[in-house]
Amino acid sequence: MTLTVRFDPPRVWYFGGERRYDDGVDSIVIKRGDLAVSTATDLVRAMRKAHRAGWGLGAVQVDVAPEDEYEPKGSFVEPISFVLLVDGRLGVQCDLVTGDYYDPFDEDDHFYEKVATISGPFLKRYGAQLVNAVPDDERSSSPYYHKAILAVPTRSKTLESLYRIGDGVRALFAAASTGVLTRRTVQDLVVAGRADLLIGQPEGPWLDVKSAHYDLTTPKGRISLAQAVSRFANAEQGGIVVAGMGTKKIPGGELIDSIKPVPVDTGTVRRYRQAIETTIFPFPVGLEIRSVETGPGIGLVTVSLPPQEEELKPFLVHGAIVGDRVEGAFISIVRRSGEDSIPITAAQIHSTLAAGRALLRRGHVPQIDLPRHGEHGGSSGSR
């Protein structure tokens, strides 16, 4: 069987039948087109062979120049390369560029944990893992070029598929430079066409995904959308709803497991906004609705809102869903708790109203003793 990657001592390399050369130091420079025709198993075998031959190979780097140009010495290379890990496995090394400095000698910076948090679900999806995260200790000012080193599976994989794993980690880290997924991160990834990077992420206090549109032609659909938005408006963090993604149940919650594009057109954003405007009071500040095409006539819809001022809460929904019935004369008030929605109790509503009246009358808010949970039944909200 013909090898897709071959090393012949002392320093001869072939990728997809093409001779490739070193950069004048200790790395091999290949072309972007070599990735699709070279297998990971052949590369790791060749790198091990080079190691046994005594060549301290630094990395296999990818030239950014057009395919018909090849000058390995002094070439500019991609921020993703291939390395041989100390245990003999194949690794992918990614440059993570940020404006944030992380002290490599300060254990409290927890740079590894930050990278692991943002990339963990994505890497698990592909059977890869974060081996190391190394802060930039050479530059004294931004931008800083940190490194993440990944252990990747090799069986039946091309270098192209492994390159995409590294590219995904870079995209996630760039979107969430703090090392933590946020509402804004999710929206940025969806708008950038990288919603696939959200697969494996859990739903939570600020993230809710739907596999289909809300049926905005019916009162039930409009109320359901309004309740989804008001849950986040009444919560502390705000949140984002993404229509066009599926989930699967796991112990303790749900994970995003698929992209299921919904029909979109030029009127999609307007219909969502009108449904919210006519059903929620007050209208949430900073509400942002976007429609992102993933194909002809299909895509994803995001409804994102930042944390709301406490003075505006609670946000009320004109209408409620009681069992299978729609009660248009009711007012529902709900808020987000983890992945669930919980009704706001009568005691909480009374406390808010009483505090507001006291502030208007006396100029200050007196201490109000609320009943303990369970002392009074009933609530004014519905899920």
Domains identified in the chain, total number: 2
Residue 309 · residue 279 · CB < 8 Å: no
Q: What is the pLDDT of residue 287?
A: 96
On the question of pLDDT at 189 being above 80, the answer is: yes
| Domain at 231, CATH number | 3.30.950
Domain identity same for 262 and 356: yes
Of 149, 180, 211, the residue at which a domain comes to its end is 180
How far is the CA of 369 from the CAs of 123, 179, 244, 303, 375, in angstroms? 49, 41, 45, 37, 13
Give the list of residues 6+ apart from residue 17 with CB closer than 8 angstroms, or none.
none
Q: What digits encode the pLDDT tens for the residues 79-101?
A: 999 999 999 999 999 999 888 78
pTM for this prediction:
0.70
Task: Report residue 375's pLDDT band, with 50, 70 and 90 as the boundaries.
Answer: very low
- Listed residues 150, 180, 210: the one ending a domain: 180
381 pLDDT higher than 70: no
Residue ending a domain, among 180, 203, 231, is: 180
Q: Could you tell me if 234 and 176 lie in one domain?
A: no
Region of poorest pLDDT, from 2-6, 179-183, 256-260, 328-332: 328-332
Residue-range definition of the domain harbouring residue 246:
195-362
Does residue 151 lie in a domain region?
yes
Q: Is 168 contained in some domain?
A: yes
Please tell me whether residues 216 and 158 are part of one structural domain: no
pLDDT exceeds cutoff 80 at 330: no
Tell me the C-alpha distance between 184 and 306, whole Å. Answer: 9
Query: At CB < 8 A and 24+ separation, what contacts does 71-77 make?
Result: 72/20, 72/21, 72/22, 72/23, 72/24, 72/28, 72/29, 73/21, 73/23, 73/24, 74/23, 74/24, 75/23, 75/29, 77/29
Answer yes or no: do 136 and 161 share one domain. Answer: yes
Q: Do 145 and 270 fall within a single domain? A: no
Both 123 and 202 in one domain: the answer is no
Q: Please tell me the distance from the alpha carbon of residue 85 to that of residue 78, in angstroms, as a whole number.
A: 20
If asked whether residues 117 and 35 sit together in one domain, one would say: yes
Task: Summarize the confidence of residues 182-187 as an average pLDDT.
Answer: 88
Q: Is 244 found in the same domain as 216?
A: yes
Rounded to the nearest integer, the mean pLDDT of the chain is 86
pLDDT in tens, 242-263: 999 999 999 888 999 999 999 9
What is the tens place of the pLDDT at every residue in 350-374?
566 666 666 666 665 455 454 443 4
**Band of residue 335 on the pLDDT scale cut at 50, 70, 90:** low
Note whether residue 148 is domain-resident: yes
314 and 175 share one domain:
no
State whether 157 and 219 are in the same domain: no
Task: Check residue 148 and give left, alpha or beta (phi > 0: left; psi -120 to 50: alpha).
Answer: beta
Q: Does 223 share its domain with 350?
A: yes
In a shared domain, residues 159 and 216: no
Is residue 332 included in any domain, yes or no?
yes
